[in-house]
A and B are shown apart, each in its own frame.
Chain A
Amino acid sequence: MKSTAVATPSMWERMDPRRLMGGVSQHRVLASAAVLAVLPLLVPYPALAINVLIYGLFAAGFNLVFGYTGLLSLGHAALFGTGAYGCGIAIAVLGLPWYAAILVGLVFSTVSAALIGGLAIRTRGVYFGMVTLALAQCLYFLFYQWVSVTGGESGLRGVMVPSIDIGPIHLDLFDPVQKYYFLLAFVVLALMAFSRILDSPFGAVIEGIRENENRARASGYNVWFLKWMSFVLSGLFCGLAGALNAIHLGVVSIDSLFYTTSGTVVMMVLLGGMGTFFGPFVGAAAFLSLEDITANWTSHWQLIAGLVFIACVRFFPRGIWGSILARLRA
Chain B
Amino acid sequence: MMEEPIIRAEGISRRFGGFVALREVSLSFRSGELASIIGPNGAGKSTLFNILSGSLAPTDGRILFEGNDVTGLPQHRFVHAGISKSFQITNVFPQLSVHENVRVAAQAMVAGKNFWSRRSRLIETDETARALLVEVGLEGVARRRAGELAHGQQRALEIAMAMACEPRLLLLDEPTAGMSPEETKDMVQLIEGLARSRTVILVEHKMKMVLGISQRVIVLHHGELLADGTPDQIRNDANVKRVYLGQGRH
Contacts and interface: CB of A to CB of B under 8 A. Distances in A.
Nearest to B108: A220
Contacts of A196: 116, 118
B103 interface: yes
B119 A220 contact: no
Contacts of B93: 207-208, 211-212, 215-216
Contact of A214 (B91, B96, B114, B117): B91
Interface in A179-228: 196-197, 199-205, 207-208, 211-212, 214-223
Residue from the set A197, A205, A220 with the largest chain B CB neighbour count within 10 Å: A220
Interface in B4-54: 53
Contact of A219 (B114, B119, B120, B164): B164
5 contacts: A197-B116, A204-B103, A207-B96, A211-B93, A212-B91
Given A200-B116, A218-B84, 5 more contacts: A204-B103, A207-B96, A212-B94, A216-B104, A219-B161
Give the dominant DSSP class at A's interface.
Answer: helix
Interface string B72-114: 0011100110001101000111111000100111011111001
A201 B91 CA distance: 20
B78 to A, nearest CB: 8
Contact of B111 (A201, A207, A211, A214): A201
Interface string B155-172: 000000110110000000
Given A217-B75, A218-B75, A218-B84, A204 B107 contact: yes
B88 to A, nearest CB: 12
A207 B94 CA distance: 11
Interface of B: 53, 55, 74-76, 79-80, 84-85, 87, 91-96, 100, 103-105, 107-111, 114-120, 122, 161-162, 164-165
A203 B103 CA distance: 13
A220 B79 contact: yes
Contacts of B117: 200-201
Contacts of A204: 100, 103-104, 107, 119
B119 A199 contact: yes
Contacts of B119: 199-201, 203-204
Interface residues of A, number: 23
A207 B116 CA distance: 15
B96 A211 contact: yes
Given A200-B119, A204-B100, A211 B94 contact: yes
Interface of A: 196-197, 199-205, 207-208, 211-212, 214-223
Contacts of A223: 76
Contact of B76 (A200, A202, A215, A217): A217
B108 A215 contact: no
Contacts of A214: 55, 87, 91
Contacts of A207: 93, 95-96, 104
Contact of A205 (B84, B111, B120, B162): B111
B91 A215 contact: yes
Contacts of A208: 93, 96, 104
B172 to A, nearest CB: 12
Contacts of B96: 207-208, 211
A211 B95 contact: yes
Contacts of A211: 93-96
B55 A218 contact: yes
Given A200-B118, A202-B115, A211-B93, A218 B107 contact: no
Q: Lowest 8 CB-CB distances: which A-B pairs, in order?
A: A220-B79, A220-B108, A211-B93, A219-B105, A201-B111, A208-B104, A215-B91, A222-B76
A181 B50 CA distance: 55
A218 B116 contact: no
Nearest to A229: B115
A204 to B, nearest CB: 5
